[in-house]
Structure 1
């Protein structure tokens, strides 16, 4: 190859990746400060001590794996030397499945709350860059199938499956997930919805006090407590009512 000294010959296949699209996510991460937010705010009291993989790195690795479609911890072993993921996370080798599983075991409610704070921090940064004066809080729940004897996993008649019944709040205009909460599989759709959405309302009232806020939900959220919460704070709401004889 003397005619072109830039050309090299080897037999190891090169550093190939099928996940190059993660570069765009990493650029977004860099601009928004996701890495720093996780590093500063993550709380794990019974910390997993590992020289090469601190807890914040484990959270970011799990996040990037999810984005790329590698949803189980077992995928980490196959991805250990994936060149792009290692480059994005500044590693020579990714954390293994046992390391990820140890983190899961040590995480508690304080860890969950700290991750919520990370999400709130990123939302605040986004709205600081691109202010909004209208918000639609879409309330919804979903059925997550579970296997084995997991705590809180129960049969849900509506979804006809054994698992969990998490609650969500999305920004209907942007699609951003504003808050989520894992719940047992057999609870009703609107269970503790006022306690759940109340802090979100207060946060947005502080961030953008003159904005129009609308709460939207299906008939599973037709509970007086939610109506009163919206009306007390002068917010609009559009929530479907279940058909019944008195209404008709």
Structure 2
């Protein structure tokens, strides 16, 4: 019995002008592709926005590099993907998949394949 492979793509909500497409061609690979489904659900139900509304940001606006929303999103997506330890985020801050989930437009996002 042969395995039937379908070269289809999955299209997700875009990030600004960037398209987000899941391909299965073995290019750049991540095991965190399920996070894109979480992002889709969040964009429909607005869970992160409701969580962020619970915080008051007392930081000096001139010293802020990351918004409260970015910080909350990073932590929520990290937990959902199994990164329990905050030390994991030191490496994840360079991860283009997490940057995409958080909504960071600063980092260049290359095509990523999912497995």
TM-score with structure 2 setting the length: 0.57
Q: Could you tell me which residue of structure 1 aligns to residue 87 of structure 2? A: 74
CA RMSD of aligned residues (A): 2.3
Q: Secondary structure at the match of 1:41?
A: coil
Structure-1 separation of matches of 2:73 and 2:52: 9
1:40 aligns with 2:53: yes
Residues 159-179 of structure 1, C-alpha deviations (whole Å, 9 max, x = no match) = xxxxxxxxxxxxxxxxxxxxx
- Alignment partner for residue 23 of structure 1, among 36, 53, 57? 36
Q: Could you tell me which residue of structure 1 aligns to residue 19 of structure 2? A: none
Higher RCO (Cα < 8 Å, 6 or more apart): 2
Number of aligned pairs?
A: 79
Structure-1 separation of matches of 2:41 and 2:73: 14
Structure 2 unpaired stretches of 5+: 1-25, 108-115
1:84 aligns with 2:97: yes
Residues 91-137 of structure 1, C-alpha deviations (whole Å, 9 max, x = no match) = 145xxxxxxxxxxxxxxxxxxxxxxxxxxxxxxxxxxxxxxxxxxxx
Deviation, 1:20, is: 0.5
- Larger Cα Rg: Structure 1 or Structure 2? 1
Residues 20-43 of structure 1, C-alpha deviations (whole Å, 9 max, x = no match) = 011111111111112322343322
Structure-1 separation of matches of 2:80 and 2:73: 11
Structure 1 unpaired stretches of 5+: 1-12, 94-248
Q: Structure 1 runs of 4+ off > 4 angstroms? A: none
